[in-house]
């Protein structure tokens, strides 16, 4: 029996699916080389490649669809590792990921009353309504919003959270509320340029009250100052400045969650990865 056979039928079935290109996203180099090494029976090298996948957060990319599903990525990882897929282990894996999110995961800015999360800072600006605009797996989004304290902050500020599978659908809901509210100034922030474009496009259809619109791409916490992007601090300063200059304005802020309000990649790459490594017994020693 070669080491691939020892891994059992699920892995063989999985490798077969890969061979048939049913997981196109798995073409990313490390995940793919781990499969090739497993196929070649080089278990130790395969484990090192898997460790690399974990460490670099590529486990997050082990999925079929664009949507992130807890179990989809994790089951693939477990299959890669030849681990038994049982409810106990899945539960621990889920906890390892979700416990990585805490208040510390929120992106921070400096305000006149000290260091605050960007979300709290914006919520503290008077007469400003906040909308969180996010897409993805509803369960996972809700857990992140809860664990980081973001759900509470938004609730206390009487803001609203919109989670949708398709971000444009969430936007349509938000904008209809914004128009009903007769807001006069709108700020939008997202770390993805496409979302900013969608926001601007949807805003261009029939807004009468909005006198000022400012939609900006925020540099995500993991990248250093890309061109034309705003830092979270610059965005906060912009909203505050606008508040001070327009005393009677009804300001609405539409904020993306992952990569703007929350340093999601930081949590998943840092603590999340270490917890998974420990749990899945891919020794830290192999991860330089
Ligand atoms: Mg984002």
**pLDDT tens, residue by residue, 121-135:** 999 999 999 999 998
**pLDDT tens, residue by residue, 52-64:** 666 666 666 665 5
| Ordered structural domains, the chain, with CATH | 3-100+266-286 (no CATH), 104-261 (3.40.50)
Q: How many helices (H) and strands (E) does the chain have?
A: 14, 7
**Can you say whether residue 189 is alpha, beta or left, with left for phi > 0 and alpha for psi between -120 and 50 degrees?**
beta
What is the chain's alpha carbon radius of gyration, rounded to the nearest angstrom? 22
Give 250 Cα–ligand 1 centroid separation in angstroms. 25
The dihedral sign for the CA sequence 18, 19, 22, 23: positive
Give 263 Cα–ligand 1 centroid separation in angstroms. 9
Residues 6+ apart with CB under 8 A from 69: 63, 137, 140
pTM of the full predicted structure?
0.78
Give 220 Cα–ligand 1 centroid separation in angstroms. 8
For position 136, what pLDDT does the model report?
80
Q: Name the more confident of 266 and 134.
A: 134
Q: Are 272 and 96 in contact (CB under 8 A)?
A: yes
Task: DSSP for 220-235, please give it.
Answer: PTTS---TTPBPHHHH
Give 258 Cα–ligand 1 centroid separation in angstroms. 4
For position 208, what pLDDT does the model report?
63
Relative to beta strand 160-164, strand 128-135 is parallel
Distances (CA, A) of 237 to 4, 153, 232, 242: 57, 19, 9, 9
Residues with CB under 5 A from ligand 1 (ion): 191, 256, 258-259
Give 171 Cα–ligand 1 centroid separation in angstroms. 14
């Amino acid at each position: 029996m070669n080491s691939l056979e020892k891994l059992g039928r699920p892995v063989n079935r999985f490798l077969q699916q890969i061979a048939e290109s049913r997981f196109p996203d798995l073409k990313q180099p490390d995940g793919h080389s781990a499969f090739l090494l497993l196929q070649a029976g080089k278990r130790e090298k395969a484990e090192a490649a898997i460790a690399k996948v974990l460490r670099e957060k590529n486990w997050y990319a082990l999925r079929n669809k664009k949507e992130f599903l807890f179990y989809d990525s994790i089951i693939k990882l477990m299959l890669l590792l030849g681990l038994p897929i049982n409810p106990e282990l899945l539960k621990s894996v889920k906890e390892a990921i979700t416990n990585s999110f805490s208040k510390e995961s929120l992106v921070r800015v400096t305000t006149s009353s000290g260091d605050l999360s960007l979300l709290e800072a914006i919520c503290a600006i008077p007469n400003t309504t906040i909308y969180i605009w996010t897409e993805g797996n509803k369960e996972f989004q809700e857990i992140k919003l809860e664990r980081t304290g973001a759900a509470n902050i938004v609730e206390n500020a009487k803001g609203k959270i919109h989670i949708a599978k398709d971000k444009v659908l969430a936007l349509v809901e938000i904008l209809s509320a914004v128009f009903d509210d007769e807001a006069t100034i709108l700020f939008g922030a997202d770390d993805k340029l496409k979302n900013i474009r969608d926001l601007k496009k949807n805003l261009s259809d029939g807004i009468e009250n909005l006198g000022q619109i400012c939609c900006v791409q925020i540099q995500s916490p993991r990248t250093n100052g890309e061109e034309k992007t705003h830092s979270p601090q610059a965005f906060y300063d912009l909203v505050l400045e606008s508040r001070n200059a327009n005393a009677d304005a009804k300001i609405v802020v539409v904020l993306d969650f992952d990569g703007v309000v929350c340093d999601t990649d930081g949590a998943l790459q840092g603590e999340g990865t270490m917890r998974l490594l420990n749990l899945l017994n891919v020794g830290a020693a192999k991860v330089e």
